[in-house]
Amino acid sequence: MPLLDIHDLAISFAGSPRPALDGASLSIGPGETLGLVGESGSGKSVTALAVLGLLPPAGRVLRGRISFDGVDLTAGGEAVVAPLRGRAISMVFQNPRRALNPLRRVGRLIGDVLRAHAARGEGRHLTGARLRARVVELLAAVGIPDPGRRADAYPFELSGGMCQRVMIAIALAGNPRLLIADEPTTGLDVTTQAIILDLIDDLARARGMATILITHDLAVAAERCRRLAVMRDGRVVEAGPTARLLAAPAHPYTAALIRATPGPTTRIEDLGA
């Protein structure tokens, strides 16, 4: 049985002439890595926000179902989604500098999340020195050097790559079964991008997490994901094993994405073909 199953999901936003999602369907199994690819505006991030119940007030689910581990999230609403958010399902947002509160130290940001989980019955006695130790442990787990000192830093004192590691530490604080990484390397240099993606891969394997990697970069998804789902205009137009989909795309849009992905010998003229 899939861990996450989205079926015929349609979402509209007030004032928009067309739905943001128009019958999107996809699934991911336990421990699997799925690449969700497509151009900007195709509905990738809206899909992720819908799973977490984080649609803005203007968003409305028109039809469809989101099921997590057999539980219908769309029918249950906030009462069902809230206990899962950050614990069973976590998300790494793009642009960590905007996602992190600049007025709180890194350790306080992570500690807030840990305390929120404790309030729901997980780690009720995680306070004081034990809370601090857990914060430092999470920072160390995502490869931040001198984690004790970094816990006292503000986000603006850290590099973009370090801020993204903090975001990953926050996402892991509740030991989720599903991690959604939404363009996790936005704004990072190529070397740091590879380090962050390697980190997500390693953590997912070590923890047995299912991972959805949202990206517009087909080459990145092809390298990192065993299975791909291609989105266009609010729908998943094609999904399947990465090797099969790249070798024999069934949808013209997938074929166009592949042609538009530069390789080592690609010429500028080839991208316009």
CATH number (domain holding residue 13): 3.40.50.300
Distance CA 115, CA 138 (A): 14
If phi > 0 it is left, if psi is from -120 to 50 it is alpha, else beta; for residue 226 that is alpha
* Separation CA 22–CA 30 (nearest Å): 26
pLDDT digits (tens, 9 = 90+) for 162-208: 999 999 999 999 999 999 999 998 888 889 999 999 999 999 999 99
What token pair was written down for 44?
A: 């990738």
Q: Which domain holds residue 260?
A: 4-271
Give me the percent of the chain exceeding a pLDDT of 90: 80
21: helix, coil or strand? Answer: strand
Q: What are phi and psi of 187, to 5 degrees?
A: 80, 5
Residue 267 has pLDDT above 70, yes or no: no
Of residues 125 and 108, more confidently modeled: 108
**Residue 260 CB contacts under 8 Å (≥ 6 apart), including other chains:** 218, 271
Overall number of domains in the chain? 1
Confidence of residue 99 (pLDDT cuts 50, 70, 90): confident
Predicted local distance difference test score (pLDDT) of residue 187: 83
Pick the closest to residue 165 from 70, 238, 92, 75 (CA basis). 92
Chain segment 112-150, per-residue pLDDT in tens: 999 888 766 554 567 788 899 999 999 999 999 999 999
Q: State the Cα–Cα distance between residues 145 and 22, nearest whole angstrom.
A: 45
What's the pLDDT at 66?
97
